Amino acid sequence: MRIKMSWDGMLSKRNCEKCNKPLNVDGNHPAELYAGTYTGLCYSCQREGAYEIEKGPNGEKFMSHPPHCPSWRRDRETYWWFEDCTNPECNKGKIIVYRDLGKRGNYSTYCKECFDRHFGKA
């Protein structure tokens, strides 16, 4: 399928890949269709809480999380997660590392316990 784009980087009309709602239907959400910020998701689905994408062979779940810093990165983040993970910092496979702004602020990473277990390192 060929994607059509206007001279200013706006993609042709399309629907959200998750809920099938037309993107930028009201004209007030141009980032939904702008080529530089396009994720295929409407704002509601992009910001939705963590949800399961698929199950792994050992009962783990591949989880999709909303972007931790949507002002500069709009795509969702994905992590492997085991429901019985004992790491208190694990939030469905995702861990937030807190640091001050002088060190460029917080960032998210994967739970090492879930990651190692999924890839057979545990």
The pLDDT tens digits for 50-108 are 999 999 999 999 999 998 877 677 889 999 999 999 999 999 999 999 888 777 788 89
Which pTM value belongs to this model? 0.81
Q: Is 121:91 a contact under the CB 8 Å cutoff?
A: no
Predicted confidence at residue 64, as pLDDT, reads 95
User: pLDDT tens digits for 5-47?
Assistant: 888 888 999 999 999 999 999 989 898 999 888 999 999 999 9
* Coil vs helix vs strand at 30: helix
